[in-house]
Structure 1
Amino acid sequence: MSHREFGIGGGKFDMRHGFGRLRSARITVRTVAAAVLAVSVMVSAGCGSDSQPAQEETVDLSKLDTGSFATKPQDPTTSDPEKRGRLLEGLRLGNAVPLVSDIDPSLSYNPDSTLVFIEPNSFGGHLNVDHFADDTKGFIAGFATSGRPSEDPALGYTLTNAIMTFDSEAAATSAATALAHTGFALRGSPEVDPLQSSQHPAAQIIWAPTEQRLASWFPTGKLLIFSMIDQAENYSVEQTFGVATEPAPLDLVDKAINVTTDRLKTFQPTPPDKLAGLPLDTDGMLRLTLPRPAGDPTANAFTGVLDQHGALHMVNKPIKYRELFDKTGTDLVSYGAVVLVRTRDTASAQTFLDTTSTSRFLHRIDPPTGLPTARCSKYKGPDEHAAPFACYVSYGRYVATVWSQQQQDLYQRTSAQYAILASGK
């Protein structure tokens, strides 16, 4: 059995190509022989948005052009168990923390943000993290999520909610005070006002009027809840018209703390000496996911597995995808060179594929040679950062979303991912 290095990077797949605003850099690959194996699958005929009656079709894996990509399941491994354990702890947090829309339903759009982190995180450049290591002694891992009313970052406000774990309660409390003192990376005046919540007096809260930003650090046990409100619309009004606006409401910070602490009641931080023992691959999902080649510059690269709830942090429209996940019985999602979804059964996988591969900005193109099961498209829309090509392919209860800047590279990745799934039964 071959192995591959486990890794994880900050970032988010911003959902545009159905299941994602999928971004990637230019990658050159070479063609090598694929494994010789024929399998039977159910093929959706036609290229319309509606699924057509399925017919049996044989896919000969030996005929697929998979380039230099892996074509067999590979067990993930790691050369740094300590780092891996911290990152896996961050994923555990992601499966537990609430969505921002659970705190404020009006914030139903998830913008790009760093999710799992074990290094300094400035959350969009808004915080001063020059002294992060000194301010966060005992820090283990964190998970951040954000929400705003729409795709336009200038409308309304953005709430960022992050949870960090520490090796002791004292370390979490100390970090709250230190990080609040370090404060914002300010654009203009350094004026910052301390505030206090009557509901949560232990919260360290600062308000930057010229930035129209409010941030709170609330320690609870070995956890530190960080909440930041960025009032972009108010900032724009003040800068454009010189009209004073109201400060960010403390009651929203209180609600963020209340909802987050309630959701984390059952979360038990992993003791530092047990981190290396956290399971690396939930239910073998990474084993079935096309791995990113070494040095692959795919943007927002992220390797790991999240459960249904955790995966909702990764989509721009979590309310929509929660309904789809429930409908199709999606329970796990893995992230590597592709996004791989595990649904309830074959029929549910087809429903998931039909739903996510359809958009007015997606224009159907031919599938890879020898793989008529794939549904591929070229993106023609307003997002200049979106990867121009994407394919969606299912096998059994699994659905993979694949993307690239180059059509040939896309076809090879899609074919390789299909071969992995077909070989992993």
Structure 2
Amino acid sequence: MNHYDVAQSMAEPNREVAERNKMQFGFISGSSDTEPVAFQKAPPTATLVTVTVLQFPSSDAAGTAAREFEEVDFDINPEENKRVSIGKYPAAHAHWRPGTPTIGSTIAHGNYTVSVFVSTASADLPLLTSLVEKTYTAQFPRLDKLPPLSPEQVMRTDLDPEDMKRRVLNPNKLGVPSLGGLATNTMQGFLHLQTDREAAKQLYSAGNVEYVTMGQAYSAKTYSYNTKGIAQGFGTGSSQLLDGAIVYRSKDEDSAKALWSGLAAKPDPALTPTGVPDSKCADEPKPGSNAKYYLCVVRYRNYVGTVWSTQPQDSQQRAAAQYAVLANSQ
């Protein structure tokens, strides 16, 4: 994301803060403790957390940005907003409006700023602040393992160090890496795009998935059916695109077999692609859609590929093409 995307999870004026402090890169992720329903608001009983991580050129720039993010948010309603402290993180900026079940907080951590927005079922300030504290505790160690990159380093970064992109079906000939469009992720990164992350984590862990490459598989935008800048705008997973494909690399062949078994777990034998080894297909409607949706899964050695379509023949043809790409990419 760039500074124009900041308003997806933060107040619109924060775009200027990000730009003024020379924000370089960022990522937004949100989750809910209730099963999301596409095109519907989260129920009032839900707990939702949205996390926005932004990288700046220096720790000083990050510190300034964190202060300015707080001031911008606070000044939207200065008469009612009240500043609060976040447990073991006294440097965190935070505020809430008494009587509301939400809280916003931002803190600088090295060259990064971390902004957290939490919504709960009740206006319980100790609960809200504890969730912000837990989020920071989980997030900071990950940032400590991620040295900030300069714009020059980004330009020199190997775009496919695991040699995965040439193995994924890419019918639209995408060449520029993009989130969901043409990207390779570890399992941690791929889970951000999943609606039920716990179920996905169990499945991919059982398959010892090391890397996941997507070829125009997901929209880069998350579902957002509420006011910008609040957690309810996230947590429903990213929308899956029609022309996509995904390739998983497992640690070994046995692990790939386990993953293959878990995907399209109830296949329809009548849909099996002709002449494609280790393949199967199932009628698996896309979440939030009433249309027919056919998922096909293929395996070649320790690689598993998935393709999908609204037409069974099209999906079978894509499966055959994906298998051929894997078999010819050794």
TM beyond 0.5: yes
Assess if the C-alpha contact under 8 Å between 1:333 and 1:342 holds in 2.
Answer: yes
Assess if the C-alpha contact under 8 Å between 2:102 and 2:128 holds in 1.
Answer: no
Question: Counterpart of 1:175 in 2: which secondary structure?
Answer: helix
Task: Tell me the CA shift for residue 202 of structure 1.
Answer: 2.1
Q: Which runs of 5+ in 1 are unaligned?
A: 1-116, 235-244
Q: Quick check: 1:194 aligned with 2:83?
A: yes
For the structure 1 residues 121 and 371, does the alpha-carbon distance in structure 2 shift closer, same or farther, using more than 3 Å as the test?
A: same
1:212 is matched with: 101
Q: Quick check: 1:409 aligned with 2:314?
A: yes
1:178 is matched with: 68
Normalising by structure 2, we get a TM-score of 0.76
For the structure 1 residues 193 and 404, does the alpha-carbon distance in structure 2 shift closer, same or farther, using more than 3 Å as the test?
A: farther
Assess if the C-alpha contact under 8 Å between 2:105 and 2:116 holds in 1.
Answer: yes
Assess if the C-alpha contact under 8 Å between 1:363 and 1:380 holds in 2.
Answer: no
Determine which of 260, 265, 273 is the counterpart of 2:139: 260
Task: Tell me the CA shift for residue 176 of structure 1.
Answer: 1.2
Once residues 100 and 78 of structure 2 are traced to their aligned partners in structure 1, the CA distance between those partners, rounded to angstroms, is: 8
For the structure 1 residues 122 and 407, does the alpha-carbon distance in structure 2 shift closer, same or farther, using more than 3 Å as the test?
A: farther
Deviations 1:354-408 (A, max 9, x none): 112115xx75651334325321111258732777121111111111121223334
Amino acid at match of 2:272: P
Q: Quick check: 1:164 aligned with 2:54?
A: yes
Once residues 198 and 72 of structure 2 are traced to their aligned partners in structure 1, the CA distance between those partners, rounded to angstroms, is: 35
Deviations 1:323-370 (A, max 9, x none): 4434332211111131110012233212111112115xx756513343
Q: Quick check: 1:118 aligned with 2:8?
A: no
Higher relative contact order (CA 8 A, sep 6+): 1
Question: Counterpart of 2:106 in 1: which secondary structure?
Answer: strand
How do 1:283-294 residues align onto structure 2 when only pairs under 5 Å count? 283-291=162-170, 293=172
How do 1:23-172 residues align onto structure 2 when only pairs under 5 Å count? 117-121=1-5, 127-136=10-19, 137-152=21-36, 153-154=42-43, 155-172=45-62
Assess if the C-alpha contact under 8 Å between 1:363 and 1:379 holds in 2.
Answer: no
- Report how many aligned residue pairs link the two structures: 290
Q: Which has the larger radius of gyration?
A: 1
For the structure 1 residues 388 and 191, does the alpha-carbon distance in structure 2 shift closer, same or farther, using more than 3 Å as the test?
A: farther
**Structure 1 vs Structure 2 CA RMSD:** 3.1
Task: Tell me the CA shift for residue 170 of structure 1.
Answer: 1.8
Normalising by structure 1, we get a TM-score of 0.60
Question: Counterpart of 1:335 in 2: which secondary structure?
Answer: strand
Task: Tell me the CA shift for residue 313 of structure 1.
Answer: 2.6
Q: Quick check: 1:271 aligned with 2:150?
A: yes
Determine which of 258, 261, 270 is the counterpart of 1:354: 261
Once residues 304 and 168 of structure 1 are traced to their aligned partners in structure 2, the CA distance between those partners, rounded to angstroms, is: 27
1:229 is matched with: 118
Q: Which runs of 5+ in 2 are unaligned?
A: 37-41, 216-243
Q: Quick check: 1:370 aligned with 2:275?
A: yes
2:214 is matched with: 335
Assess if the C-alpha contact under 8 Å between 2:95 and 2:105 holds in 1.
Answer: yes
Deviations 1:83-115 (A, max 9, x none): xxxxxxxxxxxxxxxxxxxxxxxxxxxxxxxxx
Once residues 319 and 282 of structure 2 are traced to their aligned partners in structure 1, the CA distance between those partners, rounded to angstroms, is: 12
Assess if the C-alpha contact under 8 Å between 2:3 and 2:18 holds in 1.
Answer: no
